[in-house]
Structure 1
């Protein structure tokens, strides 16, 4: 079986525990970068910027879904009526947490680093024509590649403060861990917003791993691999931990899995969106029966304001910190250790160890919780790194499912 790992850094009953099956693969180290806390104290501007970025990303992908399918996404809700307060430079630290690894593009091949994002579907790199905001990044120059071809189209992606990543579309040879997609569509960005400057965004570009329905350009990289027969399984797996993080293309890495998988069907192809049974504090389900998008490109767990308030109401000593940290943020006593979990397919998955983002301020007895309320335009929650770093997550195009398992 032809499978591949990128390091960072079934079906008796759906939504039931199922043993993993053995697959082989290759590994590329992924690197994690985070600026959300300095010496244990949260960077409020970075957090606000990340939420603004997230809101913009979902605006992009919801619009792409409607353009590609001809109908609004079933989970789309009305646009927010007010702009989030994000400080003087809302995108300075947009992407202050990301998981990135290496890819190569063109002939002869040039190596780039990209953020791997299950919440979007496009691949873009900084263009050789990009100005000062691309300084420090490896730039893509299609004139230097014999396999590059101008697609004759522009692209533009808007983010939380109205700034954009934009440029021209090309096709070229793209290789990840020895797996090559020929004539892969990619964006050559002539404009990068300040949040993509190398000091804030160490990866050169971004590679989306969501469904083709969300693509602003055309077929995403992994789906091209599937179409061209380069992988024998349309599945990939993530381990997102501080040590040994990896993305595995073409299956899952059983060596990193510590128990049976719980498998849940995707409810709407586009995002990796599944039904979530509940959000729990201790043994009590404080929020029930909502959907969740599993998004490696999001640090936080993000929900609607009503249900996020219900969640924090279950945590003793929690406080609304909107006036100090920004809309949607809450704190809880650092001296406490709340037990918190998400339940999928009848199985609760604990995220207590990653729930705290750090102290609210230097010397504060309050810590900032990793569950945040935001206007994403989605009727449901988004489960990012605060959740994903506690489980092994498998995404299957073949079966249209997401699966979670304990880490080995």
Structure 2
């Protein structure tokens, strides 16, 4: 079975619910759209037209264990600190391309009885140093393991001393995901490039400790969620690309193969028409499930047919 997913960013806004004791998003466990586990390359025989009940049951248990219940997330969102991040990008018809940039990043599908995660190349610094990240729609921070890592990190690691554009800070960075994995370090900025698209001063967690199974075949993680879910209190990579006004379309799309098959892809500013047939349905995102704060790419679901 092959899957294509499309996400659009038209307006970035922040809402918050009043709370007598507000908590910063940095104190909340972050949701990830994929876990990192030990894996081996297996092959499976699958029929696209047959629903696999056992695989669905395993996936439901994995998601419940990682994300918690929706009530947990609503409570967390109701305590989110308001941080208005104004976008300069004007809404437009995302089905009509304009003059601008786009890029395709090939992804590797990690498979261990289920499709676990999809990761691909990313570069940091000047001159660029190559590493790889799990592209994750359930969180909003870029996490990059550095060469001074004291434990738990998977390479390729980034050496800040070899980049002329690296700017470190003393701001502590600590992220913990729902599955108890996470990383510690400091907030830094540098040039970050994915699929030929660069943000010159992208903030990220320059981490020297990773724990709880964070590390996997991928070195780091790039969050594609919304600014209000960023532990670093900085704008995510995709948000910065949108606000630059240079993308051909304010969207990113995934083509996700199944069963470890090659061909998965992240397309930034584009949808690869070679990867699907038919028409795309577009739906408005809905923050009501997280207390009115736009954290994730939620859409309303009224029925399941």
Same fold (TM over 0.5): yes
Change (3 A) 1:260 1:102: same
CA separation in 2, counterparts of 1:60 and 1:143? 39
Q: CA deviation at 1:262?
A: 1.5
CA separation in 1, counterparts of 2:74 and 2:136? 12
Q: Tell me the equivalent position of 2:160.
A: 142
CA separation in 1, counterparts of 2:143 and 2:78? 18
CA separation in 2, counterparts of 1:215 and 1:120? 7
Please give the residue correspondences for 1:351-390 in structure 2 after superposition, counting only pairs within 5 Å. Answer: none
CA separation in 1, counterparts of 2:117 and 2:214? 12
SS in 2 for 1:227: helix
CA separation in 2, counterparts of 1:190 and 1:46? 31
CA separation in 2, counterparts of 1:116 and 1:186? 14
CA contact (8 A) 1:61 1:216 kept: no
Please give the residue correspondences for 1:52-131 in structure 2 after superposition, counting only pairs within 5 Å. Answer: 52-55=65-68, 63=76, 66-69=79-82, 97-131=116-150
SS in 2 for 1:278: coil
Are 2:237 and 1:221 aligned? yes
Residues 114-139 of structure 1 deviation map (CA, whole Å, 9 limit, x = unaligned): 011111111001122222311x4122
Q: Tell me the equivalent position of 1:206.
A: 221
Q: Tell me the equivalent position of 2:295.
A: 270
CA contact (8 A) 1:127 1:140 kept: yes
Please give the residue correspondences for 1:236-251 in structure 2 after superposition, counting only pairs within 5 Å. Answer: 236-241=252-257, 242-251=261-270
Stretches of structure 2 that go unaligned for 5 or more consecutive residues are 5-35, 45-53, 85-111, 288-293
Please give the residue correspondences for 1:8-27 in structure 2 after superposition, counting only pairs within 5 Å. Answer: none
CA separation in 2, counterparts of 1:229 and 1:277? 34
CA separation in 2, counterparts of 1:61 and 1:149? 36
Residues 298-350 of structure 1 deviation map (CA, whole Å, 9 limit, x = unaligned): xxxxxxxxxxxxxxxxxxxxxxxxxxxxxxxxxxxxxxxxxxxxxxxxxxxxx
Stretches of structure 1 that go unaligned for 5 or more consecutive residues are 1-6, 8-31, 72-92, 281-408
Q: Tell me the equivalent position of 2:207.
A: 189
Q: CA RMSD in A?
A: 3.8
CA separation in 2, counterparts of 1:220 and 1:137? 22
Change (3 A) 1:189 1:54: farther
Q: CA deviation at 1:214?
A: 1.3
Q: CA deviation at 1:191?
A: 1.4
Change (3 A) 1:63 1:206: farther
Q: Tell me the equivalent position of 1:154.
A: 172
SS in 1 for 2:303: strand
Are 2:211 and 1:169 aligned? no
Change (3 A) 1:166 1:113: same
CA separation in 2, counterparts of 1:64 and 1:129? 34
Are 2:271 and 1:252 aligned? yes
Change (3 A) 1:65 1:105: farther
CA separation in 1, counterparts of 2:279 and 2:189? 40
Change (3 A) 1:161 1:104: closer
Please give the residue correspondences for 1:277-288 in structure 2 after superposition, counting only pairs within 5 Å. Answer: 277-280=302-305
Higher normalized strand content (fraction of residues): 1
Change (3 A) 1:62 1:165: farther
Bigger radius of gyration among the two: 1
CA contact (8 A) 1:35 1:46 kept: no
Change (3 A) 1:69 1:153: same
CA separation in 2, counterparts of 1:60 and 1:139? 33
